[in-house]
Amino acid sequence: MPRIDIDRLQIDFPLYHGQSRSLKKHVGNTLSNLRPGSPAAHLMQDGRERTVVSVLREISFNLKSGERLGLIGRNGAGKTTLLRTMAGIYEPVGGRVRLEGSLGTLLDAGLGMNMELTGRENIRLYGLHGGLSKAQISQIDRDVQDFADLGSYVDMPLKTYSSGMTVRLAFGLATAMRPQILLMDEWFLAGDGAFMNKAQDRLEAMVQHADILVISTHQPDVMRKWCTRVIWLEDGRIRMDGTPDEVLDVYLTA
Ligand SMILES: Nc1ncnc2c1ncn2[C@@H]1O[C@H](COP(=O)(O)OP(=O)(O)OP(=O)(O)O)[C@@H](O)[C@H]1O
């Protein structure tokens, strides 16, 4: 059964090296003048004397099959960083992240795709990487081409694609694979009108199929429609964890 276990996760990003004394002094002075809660208040020194931005602290939760989690929080709260850490893009500085089950991500268009290869070659590569048979790859090839509507561009290198075309291909591929765990950043929901209408059905089918969904969004409607649970992140920590109604009622009036 797919599941996600996150235990006391901590993510820091190094900024300056310890040798840089004047920078350290500057940061120290700046820190002492900061109001609590402002983003740079999370600058700190790590054990190796580096200045780091502390982005996630003491994040712990478990997700089991059937749960659809929405992440909310103000800009810079740490939602994207949490999704990227779950996807294995960032290594935790502290704590543990464990995922069991096949993983699909809609985080960055182009992530995992080769810009030098054609759309068709990327589709094949994606299928091979996902361990699909030749017949399954042919099926995905047709399905993605149909959906992404790339026309003759399918045989052109990705580097010649517009950003909209790249999103369509990435979206088509990620939704074709039907993973057990789907991690999704909200900007995938922000396509042009025509694309969104087409994408909506496909996305909903996938969300219904994925055993576990984690989505970051600022749209309360999406949370109420798709999620069974919402975690509110504030300054890199969990402020509230509950049903969409419980959390959104407090969040939207805070
Ligand atoms: N590579 C990095 N180096 C330094 N700081 C970073 C890095 N990536 C993110 N941050 C900082 O971490 C904090 C959290 O960023 P993140 O993108 O996770 O927030 P978010 O909740 O997804 O915001 P938004 O709603 O604006 O997308 C921000 O203050 C951001 O500036």
pLDDT at 11: 95
> Can you give the CATH number for the domain in which 233 is found?
3.40.50.300
CA of 13 to the centre of ligand 1 (A): 10
200, 172: one domain: yes
Please answer whether residues 199 and 178 qualify as being in contact, where contact means their C-beta atoms are separated by less than 8 angstroms. Answer: no
pLDDT band at 36 (very low <50, low <70, confident <90, very high): very low
95, 7: one domain: yes
pLDDT digits (tens, 9 = 90+) for 166-187: 888 888 888 887 789 999 888 7
pLDDT digits (tens, 9 = 90+) for 214-234: 999 888 988 898 899 999 999
CA of 163 to the centre of ligand 1 (A): 22
151, 93: one domain: no
Q: Which whole-number Å values give the CA distances from 106 to 83, 98, 111, 187, 213, in the listed order?
A: 10, 19, 9, 9, 11
Q: What atom of ligand 1 comes closest to residue 55's alpha carbon? A: 12
199, 229: one domain: no
pLDDT at 17: 55
The closest alpha carbon to 127, from 119, 116, 112, 137, belongs to: 137
130, 90: one domain: no
8, 73: one domain: yes
Q: Which whole-number Å values give the CA distances from 234 to 18, 57, 59, 60, in the listed order?
A: 28, 10, 11, 14
pLDDT at 33: 52
Please answer whether residues 44 and 57 qualify as being in contact, where contact means their C-beta atoms are separated by less than 8 angstroms. Answer: no
204, 110: one domain: yes
pLDDT band at 110 (very low <50, low <70, confident <90, very high): low
89, 112: one domain: no
E strand intervals along 91-236: 94-100, 103-106, 181-185, 212-216, 229-234
Question: What does the alpha-carbon distance between residue 213 and residue 26 come to, in Å, rounded to a whole number?
Answer: 42
Best of 11, 43, 51, 79 for a ligand 1 pocket test (most atoms within 8 Å of beta carbon): 79
Residue 225 in 3-state DSSP?
A: helix
pLDDT digits (tens, 9 = 90+) for 132-146: 899 999 999 998 888
Helix residue ranges, H only, 37-118: 79-86
**159 phi, psi to nearest 5 deg:** -65, -15
47, 64: one domain: yes
Residue 22: which domain range? 3-101+217-251
Say what the pTM is: 0.82
Would you call 145 exposed, middle or buried from its count of C-beta atoms within 10 A (0-12, 13-18, 19+)?
middle
Please answer whether residues 212 and 2 qualify as being in contact, where contact means their C-beta atoms are separated by less than 8 angstroms. Answer: yes
CB atoms within 10 A of CB 44: 13
Would you call 133 exposed, middle or buried from its count of C-beta atoms within 10 A (0-12, 13-18, 19+)?
exposed
Ligand 1 touching residue 54 (CB < 6 A): no
Residue 199 in 3-state DSSP?
A: helix
pLDDT band at 93 (very low <50, low <70, confident <90, very high): very high
Q: Is the pLDDT higher at 109 or at 143?
A: 143
Q: What is the average per-residue pLDDT within 54-66?
A: 95
Q: What atom of ligand 1 comes closest to residue 83's alpha carbon? A: 18
Q: Which whole-number Å values give the CA distances from 157 to 11, 101, 121, 150, 174, in the listed order?
A: 36, 32, 9, 12, 19
Ligand 1 touching residue 53 (CB < 6 A): yes
pLDDT band at 62 (very low <50, low <70, confident <90, very high): very high
139, 180: one domain: yes
pLDDT band at 63 (very low <50, low <70, confident <90, very high): very high
Number of domains forming the structure of the chain: 2
131, 80: one domain: no
pLDDT score of 9 more than 90:
yes
Take atom 16 of ligand 1 and give the residue whose Cα is closest.
Answer: 78
225, 197: one domain: no
Please answer whether residues 190 and 166 qualify as being in contact, where contact means their C-beta atoms are separated by less than 8 angstroms. Answer: no
Q: What is the average per-residue pLDDT within 85-107?
A: 92
pLDDT score of 23 more than 60:
no
